[in-house]
Structure 1
Amino acid sequence: MTNQDNQLGKPISAIQVGATFSLTETIKERDVLLYMGVTDDSNPAYLKQTQDAEMKTVVPPIALMGILTRTVSMHFPGPGSRLIEMNLNISDPIPHNSTLTFDFEIIRVEELKQFVTIHAIGYYADDPRHERVLDAILTVLPPEENLDQLTDKIDAGVFQRITGGDTFDY
């Protein structure tokens, strides 16, 4: 393992609103079968062998969430990131062997609370209109920065203890 393999993704101080990342991926039947094996989810909508001729097999939503999660943890912001919340909307069933493009954009950086909000959309890669079939909002904790070097620069005098109560006197 090289030193580069151990590198963390971008810390919150290096992330800007408007930053983007994109990937295109084909979701194969093999991917769906792996999902089904791990989760023991045997929904007939996911299997060709149990389908009526008129029904199309669809990709399980959790498999799509896995692509989003993997992108956050491996690429954007990268290793060391933790997904803490996801809101996912799939507007149309996505059939097996679909090639989707996923576009990610940082829409909020909350330095005080140490999280970023990412908007992700998914559309068929061959669709020139980029009509969304997937829309997600992700709340992510980027990798933590090493604060050891900053401790001598922090002035503890600016921190004050606030006691409980319903009102504050200023």
Structure 2
Amino acid sequence: MLDNLPRGTICIEDIEIGMTRSLTKEITDRDISLFAEVSTDHNPVHLDDDYAQDTIFEGRIAHGMLTAGLVSAVIGEQLPGHGAVYLGQSLKFLAPVRPGDRVTAEVTVTAIDHSRRRVTLDTRCVVDGKPVLAGEALVLAPSAKFD
């Protein structure tokens, strides 16, 4: 039965406290433009250099939810991976992410409820070692016992 699971999936039966997965991605102007298009969030602080220069950020920044989306990618592709279902996510945005920044998104298992297939994850993003996002996710993990 395990052979039928998508690559990268970690089933509830194999998840352990402290397990960690991450990814790193450079945020590009194209990423920001595409996110604005998909989300319909065209706030000029993300898209207009002249406008953004006169804000508290003194330059353009990526959408916070674009950064949070990297956490979602780790959960959906690595831990637990394919078949995971988001149940909740808290987020704190700690610092701006700018075009050209290399963001590392990381999730760590902090609690497991095997009977309900629920996994609690510490979620965070850093740029050059500096925290830019922190939070906690609750996900429903896939099980090897169910197809």
Q: How would you bin the TM-score normalised by the shorter chain?
A: 0.7 to 0.9
**TM-score (norm: length of structure 2):** 0.85
Indicate which of 55, 68, 73 corresponds to 1:70: 73
Can you give the 5+ residue segments of structure 1 that lack an aligned partner in the other structure?
149-170
SS in 2 for 1:59: coil
- 1 CA distance for matches of 2:39 and 2:31? 12
Pairing 1:81–2:84 present: yes
Render the CA deviation track for 1:77-130: whole Å, top value 9, x for unaligned: 111111110001111122122112222210101112210011122111xx3xx3
| Superposed displacement of residue 146, structure 1 | 2.3
Pair 1:56-2:55 in alignment: no
1:47 matched to which residue of 2?
47
The partner residue of 1:92 within 86, 90, 95 is 95
Matched residue count: 142
Confirm or deny that 1:101 pairs with 2:104: yes
* Amino acid paired to 1:68: V
Match of 1:135 in 2: 134
2:21–2:74 contact (8 Å) kept in structure 1? no
Q: Give per-residue Cα distances to partners, 1:118-150, cap 9 Å, x unaligned.
A: 1122111xx3xx3312112011111133258xx
Contact 1:81/1:142 (8 A) holds in 2: yes
Among the aligned pairs, what percent are the same residue?
23
> Match of 1:65, SS?
helix
Higher relative contact order (CA 8 A, sep 6+): 2
Q: Counterpart in 2 of 1:11?
A: 11
TM-score, length-normalised on structure 1?
0.75
Quick one: which amino acid aligns to residue 39 of structure 2?
T
Alignment RMSD, CA only?
2.2
Q: Which has the larger radius of gyration?
A: 1
Amino acid at match of 2:145: N
Q: Distance in 1 between matches of 2:69 and 2:22?
A: 15
| Cα distance in 2 between the residues matched to 1:56 and 1:103 | 26
